[in-house]
Chains A and B, each alone.
Chain A
Amino acid sequence: AQRVTQPEKLLSVFKGAPVELKCNYSYSGSPELFWYVQYSRQRLQLLLRHISRESIKGFTADLNKGETSFHLKKPFAQEEDSAMYYCALSAETSGSRLTFGEGTQLTVNP
């Protein structure tokens, strides 16, 4: 079975500071990892996925298979980054099923 853990429920930083949202997973196969974001009163939406290796809105995430981690990073946080962030895993044998972490509420203070 797969599991995703986000150790921080709440994270608060100041504008312009670096931010790192942690995500650890357990899965014996080859997972796909994602970060989803939910802004206030908006739908859950995909932020980025490890296979695309893109930088979206200044965020990056690297899959570290040795440490089974997929931490989300941004060098300079902006107030508009304040949102709920979910790390999610898809297993190759599970169709479109996503296993989500508990989420981290990021607040960027002015």
Chain B
Amino acid sequence: KAGVTQTPRYLIKTRGQQVTLSCSPISGHRSVSWYQQTPGQGLQFLFEYFSETQRNKGNFPGRFSGRQFSNSRSEMNVSTLELGDSALYLCASSLGRGYSGGSYEQYFGPGTRLTVT
């Protein structure tokens, strides 16, 4: 089956602009999580959506937001971009959390490389 896809793969924006990134999960997966990856901070959790509802949120300012559509596709938006927002943004999809409480395997996309100048 097709893997997680993210668009666009590369993006260059200017400070103060906003940006929208898209993630298409594996078919049948209802959970989509977003992570920011930087050399200094590593992989930081942004938020998770499950069946169109935000289930978890990391410690990021309100400029970072997201949503999930009925087909499980997800978007994240960053408004008023800052230089520090330059990063690789990863999306991961999974079936969610299992009945026994254990989590299903998460599958990661290739990421969107955002550069803010």
Contacts and interface: CB of A to CB of B under 8 A. Distances in A.
Chain A: interface size category: 20 to 34
Interface stretch (A14-22, A40-48, A53-61, A68-76): A40-48
Interface string B47-80: 0101000011010000000000000000000000
A86 B44 CA distance: 12
A22 B106 CA distance: 22
Contacts of A44: 90, 92, 108
Interface in B23-66: 31, 33, 35, 42-45, 48, 50, 55-56, 58
19 contacts: A43-B109, A44-B90, A45-B108, A46-B106, A86-B42, A86-B43, A90-B103, A92-B101, A95-B50, A96-B94, A96-B96, A96-B97, A96-B104, A96-B106, A97-B48, A97-B58, A98-B33, A98-B35, A102-B42
Interface of A: 32, 43-46, 49, 51, 86, 90, 92, 94-103
